[in-house]
């Protein structure tokens, strides 16, 4: 998988929040083989190396880092946070979140497009957290985004893929654009379904971090992502309304 000209070895991305301990977080990443770790800039602070221990832990995971603008509700806040992230983590990659609704954490489409435009013009590689809306996707691509990250369901709900039709339509509309299903997944089977639909990767956090055994759940998701990708590449059979015998009738023995 190539994202912004960078090759990533795994199609599973994991967040770094809400784990019971740093050791559990590290174990989950090891068991999953995740290729990208997302981290909120709000975990870091200027002065006196605040947050340095967490940064060292993430760095030692040996994965590509994708800072995000989690919790930002305006264009100005998101852009400023992205600029801070570039300085803190020495990367132009940014997962862009501009939240528009406090209860559902749905992105603000107008603010998202404007912030994406500003950041791409400033040299950022923007990974926009968006919905499955085709028009919004087109706008994001037009301002320079090369990757889209539509939600499966609202962040942290574990509901899975709540709009399969919309996600299939989005994938079909832009077949050559790398797409990552981001947020709302609760079970490995849901990740497999997203991959079977042709999505390039999945990103999740809560489903792993809040599991009884986060490391085992992380490994479960990793296997599901691999299985879903293989199924997609194998060109699955089309569903049919009528039964069809799997054993040929020709040559079958019969009694008179």
Annotated binding site for 1-deoxy-D-xylulose 5-phosphate: 156, 183-184, 205-206
Inter-residue contact 215 to 19 (CB < 8 Å) = no
Q: Which of 95, 139, 171, 229 is an active site residue?
A: 95
Inter-residue contact 78 to 111 (CB < 8 Å) = yes
Inter-residue contact 69 to 96 (CB < 8 Å) = yes
Report the C-alpha gap between 106 and 184 in whole angstroms.
Answer: 11
Cβ neighbors of 219 (< 8 A, separation 6 or more) are 31, 32
Supply 68's token pair.
């995000």
The CA angle 105-109-110, to the nearest 5 degrees, is 130
Q: Calculate the alpha carbon distances from 144 to 6, 63, 212 in Å.
A: 17, 25, 40
Query: Which residues contribute to the annotated binding site?
Result: 156, 183-184, 205-206
Supply 84's token pair.
């801070």
- β-bridge partners, 149: 129
Report the C-alpha gap between 144 and 158 in whole angstroms.
Answer: 31
Residue 210 among the catalytic residues? no
Q: Measured in whole angstroms, how far is the alpha carbon of residue 170 from the centre of its chain?
A: 15
Q: Measured in whole angstroms, how far is the alpha carbon of residue 132 from the centre of its chain?
A: 13
* Cα dihedral 128, 131, 132, 133 sign: negative
Question: Residues with catalytic annotation?
Answer: 95
């Amino acid at each position: 998988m190539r994202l912004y000209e960078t090759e990533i070895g795994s199609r599973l991305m994991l967040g770094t929040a809400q784990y019971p301990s740093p050791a559990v977080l590290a174990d989950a990443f090891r068991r999953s083989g995740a290729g990208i770790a997302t981290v909120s800039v709000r975990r870091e602070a200027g002065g006196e190396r605040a947050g340095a221990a967490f940064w060292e832990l993430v760095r030692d995971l040996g994965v590509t880092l994708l800072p995000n603008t989690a919790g930002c509700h305006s264009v100005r806040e998101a852009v400023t946070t992205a600029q801070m992230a570039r300085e803190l983590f020495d990367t132009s990659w940014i997962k862009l979140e501009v939240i528009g609704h406090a209860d559902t954490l749905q992105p603000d489409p107008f603010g998202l497009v404007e912030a994406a435009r500003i950041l791409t013009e400033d040299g950022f590689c923007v990974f926009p957290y968006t919905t499955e809306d085709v028009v919004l996707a087109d706008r994001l691509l037009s301002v320079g985004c090369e990757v889209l990250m539509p939600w499966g369901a609202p962040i942290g709900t574990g509901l899975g893929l709540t709009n399969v039709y919309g996600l299939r339509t989005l994938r079909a509309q832009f077949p050559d654009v790398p797409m990552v299903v981001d947020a709302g997944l609760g079970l490995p089977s849901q990740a497999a379904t997203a991959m079977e639909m042709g999505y390039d990767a999945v990103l999740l956090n809560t489903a792993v971090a809040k599991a009884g055994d986060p490391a085992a759940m992380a490994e479960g998701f990793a296997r599901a992502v691999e299985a879903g990708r293989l199924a997609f590449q194998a060109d699955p059979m089309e569903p049919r309304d009528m039964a069809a015998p799997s054993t040929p009738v020709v040559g079958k023995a019969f009694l008179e």
